[in-house]
Amino acid sequence: MSEETAGEGNGILSEICLQCGGRCCWNANPPLTEQRMERMSTEGMPAGALEFAGYRRLKARDDGFCVLFSEGRCLLHAVKPEICVAIPFTFDVKGNMLEIFLRKGSICPMVPHLLGDGEAYQAQYDLAVRNLLAFMRDVPEDELREILTIEEPETIKVGEVPLEGVLRPRTPAPVPGH
């Protein structure tokens, strides 16, 4: 299965991300599903990169950056968490709807570019939705509840996607170190 990453096939988006200096990798602690954790582990995720805070997530270093952030890049860009691939889109869940939000241009320089290029916007939106739905399919319900308490104030709602058939009853996944 090929991996999908932000800016895939679009050098301008990759360039914008490089010049930004990784603001979305600061204070990020992206949540990880069991499936993504295993995928990243086989690609060299360092031991001790994970922690549990009501859900499995990547740790941040003392300087606030994600443990996988190095020299302006994600060390595991090709297999990074679905939540990271979706940026600058993020999500909430209301009832049986996945709500899609877009970060404001003041906190992500990719946003003004996307808003000025309808084709690039649609491509990144579709990529985000595919990855967020994959995340929703795999994340344990109790961890999702905790994740949904995280505030994302600098965003505006830009879409909705039905979750019919995506969420299903699941048994809690084992937690690393527990």
Q: Specify the DSSP element, H or E, that contains 40.
A: helix 34-42
Segment interacting with ligand SF4 (CB under 6 A) among 25-33, 93-101, 128-136, 152-160: 25-33
Task: Candidates 5, 7, 16, 28: give the one binding ligand SF4 (CB under 6 A).
Answer: 28
Residue whose C-alpha is closest to residue 158's, from 110, 96, 88: 88
| Residue closer to ligand SF4 (CB basis): 23 or 118 | 23
* Sign of CA pseudo-dihedral 45, 47, 57, 111: negative
Residue 87 Cβ vs ligand SF4, minimum distance, rounded to whole Å = 8
Segment interacting with ligand SF4 (CB under 6 A) among 42-50, 74-82, 108-116, 145-153: 74-82
Query: Residue 69 has which token pair?
Result: 């952030």
What is the pattern of x (binds ligand SF4, CB under 6 A) and - over residues 41-60? -----------------x--
Beta 50-52 vs 56-58: how paired, if at all? antiparallel
Task: Candidates 36, 39, 80, 113: give the one binding ligand SF4 (CB under 6 A).
Answer: 80
Query: Residue 121 has which token pair?
Result: 């916007």
